Amino acid sequence: MSYFKLYQEGILAKRIARLKAMLSPCRLCPRECGAKRLEGETGQCGAGEHVHISGYGPHFGEEPPLVGRGGSGTIFFAYCSLHCVFCQNFDTSRGYRSRRISIKTLAEIMLELEARGCENINFVTPTHFIAQIIEALQLAAERGFRLPLVYNTSGYERIETLKLLDGIIDIYMPDIKYAEEKQAATYSQIKHYPDIAKAALKEMQRQVGDLVVNEEGIAQKGLLIRHLVMPENIAGTTELMKFIAEEISPRAAINIMDQYYPTYQAHNYPEINRRITAKEYQNALTAARRASSQFRLFA
């Protein structure tokens, strides 16, 4: 793994120092809320100095290239910089279900998942804890850890943070949510999401390129994009597929997800207070195929 070379050369330690410097005042994500997290404050995401997770283990429900035989070694981090009113994991994203762990424990979890035969380590919603995660990675690397790293994110990422992950993260898995700013503000309570997410995907593609799998079909490196289809085409699927084909890659790996259902606060928004229809989902697949016949689609 490329991060091991960075570890050997002392570059990983320098990256950790720069990421920790961005913790207080916090400017890891595009909110740049400025919370002094190392001095006891919490950011707008809800995170403070210490790592909180809601659970971990081999995950067999991810995309096939991540799962393989051993499953994706998934670590679910508490809190989130987005405040989606339909969040299907709101107990985790809002910190209702979480436990505090040390950086040493996080490293031990990574090593445990590797020993259990997982194909990779899948960091779910990692941005606000990325400094601590990379510090844990260094501890794990010292003890022989070698699995590929998956950065599983909402797509709301700051370019300056992503650049510090260049050569560390093997597989980026962003969920590009909206084509229009109005929808992002309404349903995820975030500003400038489309421009920020599009720029983030470009940086991820620059770093890792198209998805690469080994002879067994297991992902080793690259970009795997997720897109959640929403009722009434609120996500702007057609425009996003066109953007990916024209500005990311016509051969992009994309999971067009159909699992939207109204939960958390979605009942307050009549237009999204239902599941998507079969026709809405088929329209999304058609939009992807029209954007590029070379897309590698997961559905």
264-285 confidence digits (pLDDT tens): 999 999 999 999 999 999 999 9
Of all residues in the chain, the percent with pLDDT exceeding 70 is: 100
pLDDT of 2: 86
Asked if the peptide bond before residue 25 counts as cis, ω within 30 degrees of 0, the response is: yes
List, in sequence order, every beta strand (DSSP E) within 60-213.
72-77, 99-101, 120-124, 149-153, 171-174, 212-213
Residue 75, pLDDT above cutoff 80 = yes
Question: Taking a C-beta distance cutoff of 8 angstroms, is the pair 240, 252 a contact?
Answer: no
pTM greater than 0.95 = yes
pLDDT of 215: 95
pLDDT of 182: 97
pLDDT of 1: 80
Task: Grade residue 109 by pLDDT with cuts at 50, 70 and 90.
Answer: very high
**DSSP code of residue 63:** -
**Domains in the chain with CATH codes:** 2-298 (3.20.20.70)
d(CA 188, CA 181) in angstroms, rounded, equals: 10
d(CA 177, CA 184) in angstroms, rounded, equals: 8
End-to-end CA distance of the chain: 29
